[in-house]
Structure 1
Amino acid sequence: MLSYQHIYHAGNMADLHKHALLATMLAQMAAKPKPMSYIETHAGRGLYDLDAPEALRTGEAQAGITRALGAGWFAADQPLMLALTMVRAEAGPDAYPGSPRIAAALLRPGDTMHLAELHPGEHAALITAMRGTGARIYGQDGFTMAHSICPPEPRRGLMLIDPSWEVKSDYQSIPAAITKLHRKWNVGVIALWYPILRDNRHKAMLDRLRSGFVEALCSEVSFPPAQARHGMIGSGMFVINPPWRLANEARRLEQVLAR
C-alpha cells in the first residue's frame, strides 16, 4: 500500500487530463472573491523532475507533457500552463508540478490548503516541495484527514481524491467514503480521479457514484499505453458540484487529448 511513487508516471497523459481539469476548476473558483479551501487526500511529493532516471525509464512524460508542449495542445493562458510556467521559472525546465504545486500556483492569499500523504518518503519530499506555501501537511491516511476537517473553513472549496489504486478494495470502498464526505460538506466540489484499465474494473464503482450523484460531471479520455505492457488506457474524473463552466472545458480537453 505504501509502494507507489508517482515519479515514474509524472506528466503522463492521465496527468494532463487530471491536472488540466483541476487547474481549470481552481482558476474558475479563484475568479470569485470569496476565500476557499483546497483539500487533497493523496498528495504525493508535489514536484517532479522529468529528467530523473525514474521518469525517463517509463517514457510516460515524453508521451504526455513533452509531446503536448511540442505540439501546442494547450494555449499559454490555460490554467495548467500558467501553473507549469510559474513552477518551471522557480524549479527549472524539467520540473513538473503535482497537484499540490498546481494548487499553490493558483490559490490566493486567504485560501487554505490541506494535504495528506502517507508514504514516508513522499511525505518528506512534499514538505520540501511545499515550503513557503502555507499548506498544512498531514502524514496520515487521506480519508482520515478529510473526515477530520470537513466541513473545512473556509467552507467553500475543492477536494481532490487521487489514490494510487494499488489496493483493489478502493474500488468498493471509495463510493461510500465520498458519500460520507458529501454529507458532511454538501457544498464542496469533490473530484475523484480514476484510471481506465484494460479490464474496466472502474465501471462498477462509477455506476455506484453515478446513481448517488446524478448531477455530477464525468469526464473520460482514452489513449494508447506509453508502453505495450502498460495496463492503463485512459483517465477519468468524476466531479461532484462541478463549477458551472467546467463541462465546456472538459469536452474541449477530451478532444485535445484524443490524439
Structure 2
Amino acid sequence: MFSYRHSFHAGNHGDVLKHICQISLLNKLKLKDKGFVYFDTHSGAGVYNLNSEQALKTQEFKQGIDCLAGQKFEEPIINQYLELVSAYKAFKQYPGSPEIAKSIMRPQDKLTLMEWNTQEIKNLKHNLNGKNISVHHRDGFEGLIAMTPPEIKRGLVLVDPPYELASEYEQVLDTISKVYKRWSTGIFAIWYPLISERSGNESNFNNTNSKLGKSQMLLDSLRQQPFKNLLNIELCVTSPSECAGMYGSGIAIINAPWQLDENIRNCLQEITPLLAQDSSASFNLEWLIQD
C-alpha cells in the first residue's frame, strides 16, 4: 500500500465499473437538498495523466475508458460519466474518484480524502482543494474509523485499497464492521479485484494464497455482518482461465439506495459488450443481504 501507484491502472475496466457506480450513488444522495459527506479511504492522486510513463507502460485505459469514448448510450448515468471524463481526456487525463466526487458535489456537501503514499498525497493536494474539501496524509482504514460518525449523517464511503498485501482484505472487513456500528446510515462501496486463480483456497485470510480466494472470502465475511442490505456487482471482461491478471472486478455496496440495482444493471447491459475482451465477458448483480 506504500508503493502502489494507480497511474499504472487509471481508466481501466475496473475504474469504469467503480466510477459508474460512484456516480450513481452520488446521484442518489443528491436527490435530497440536505448535504452529505463523501469519504475516500485510498484517494490516490485524484487526477492521472494518460500520457505519463506509468499509464503508457500498461495502457490499461485502452481496454477501459477508450472502449466507451465517443459513444452514446440509453442509460443517462453512462452519458453523465462520459461527459465528465471527456473534459479530462481532452487533456490526456483521467479523473480519479476524488475528482469525480468534487465535480458532482454541491456547496452543502463535504469531501474527506485520505492517502498514505507520500508522492500521491503531494499530487492529491496539488490537484484537489476547496472550501469543503479536506485532505489527510494518513492510513485510510485508521482515518475512517477516527473520523466517523461524521457530523453530517448522510454520506458515502468509497473503500478502494490496492490489495497488494493480504492483510488489506481483512482490514477492509474489520474497518467496515467497526465503522458500521457507529454509523449505520452511511453508504459503503467496497471495490475489489477479480484476479485469476493461481493456487487453492484455504480457510482464512492469512492462509488463502490466491487473491481470488481472498476476494471471495471478503464477500462471504461481509454476508455474515448485520447490514440492512448488501448488493454485490461484478463485471468480468474475459474468462479467468484465459487471463493471467485481473479479468474483472466487483463492488459490494452496503445500504444500497432504492433502485440502484436496476440503474447499474441497465448500465452493465450496455457497456459489457464494449468492454468485452472475448465472448466470455459477463456481469452479475446479486443481493447478498436483502431488506
Which of 198, 203, 226 aligns to 2:216? It is 203
Aligned residue in 1 for 2:28: 28
Match of 1:98 in 2: 96
| SS of residue in 2 equivalent to 1:69 | coil
The residue type paired with residue 23 of structure 1 is: I
Provide TM-score, normalisation by structure 1.
Answer: 0.91
CA distance, structure 1, for counterparts of residue 192 and residue 135 of structure 2: 23
Write out aligned runs for 1:1-259 (5 A).
Answer: 1-72=1-72, 78-85=79-86, 87-88=87-88, 92-132=90-130, 134-199=132-197, 200-201=212-213, 202-212=215-225, 213=227, 215-224=229-238, 230-259=244-273
- CA gap 1:138/1:178 in 2 versus in 1, 3 angstroms: same
- Distance across 2 between alignment mates of 1:83 and 1:106: 9
Check 1:73–1:50 CA distance in 2 against 1; reply closer, same or farther (3 A cut). farther
Maintained 8 Å contact 1:27/1:79: no
Would you say the 8 A contact 1:158–1:190 is kept in 2? yes
Q: Which runs of 5+ in 2 are unaligned?
A: 198-211, 274-291
**1:258 partner SS:** helix
User: Alpha carbons of 1:98 and 1:230: their partners in 2 closer, same or farther (altered >3 Å)?
Assistant: farther
In the alignment, is the contact (CA less than 8 A) between 1:24 and 1:80 conserved in 2?
no
Shift in Å, 1:254: 2.7
1:76/1:82 contact within 8 Å kept: no
Question: Once the 2 structures are TM-superposed, how far is the Cα of residue 81 of structure 1 from its aligned partner?
Answer: 2.5
- Deviation string 1:112-160 (CA, Å, 9 cap, x unpaired) is 1100000000000000110336310000000111111111121110000
* Contact 2:35-2:154 within 8 A present in 1 as well: yes
- Pick closer, same or farther for the CA change 1:16–1:133 going to 2, 3 Å: farther
Deviations 1:233-252 (A, max 9, x none): 11100011112121112212
- Does the residue aligned with 1:167 lie in a helix, a strand or coil? coil
Q: Is the 2:107–2:132 contact (alpha carbons within 8 Å) kept by the matching residues of 1?
A: no
Aligned-pair distance for 1:173?
A: 3.0
Of 108-117 and 243-252, more deviation after overlay is shown by 243-252
The one-letter code matched in structure 2 to 1:224 is T
Equivalent pair of 1:104/1:133 in contact (CA under 8 Å): no
1:257 Cα deviation (Å)?
3.4
Cα deviation for residue 53 of structure 1 reads 2.2
Between structure 1 and structure 2, the one with the greater Rg is 2
> What is the letter of the counterpart of residue 12 of structure 1?
N
2:192 counterpart SS class: strand
Between the aligned partners of 1:34 and 1:81, the Cα distance in structure 2 is 27
Aligned in 2, Cα 1:4/1:232: closer, same or farther, shift over 3 Å?
same
Distance 1:74 1:148 in 2: 42
Select between 248-257 and 182-191 the one with higher mean Cα deviation: 248-257
Deviation at 1:204, TM superposition (A): 1.1
Q: What is the Cα deviation at residue 95 of structure 1? A: 1.5
**Within 2, Cα distance between the matches of 1:57 and 1:229?**
18
> How far apart, CA to CA, are the structure 2 residues paired with 1:55 and 1:8?
5
What is the CA distance between 1:256 and its match in structure 2?
Answer: 2.7
State how many pairs are aligned.
Answer: 254
RMSD: 2.0
Offset of residue 110 of structure 1: 1.4
The 2-side partners of 1:72 and 1:166 are apart by 36
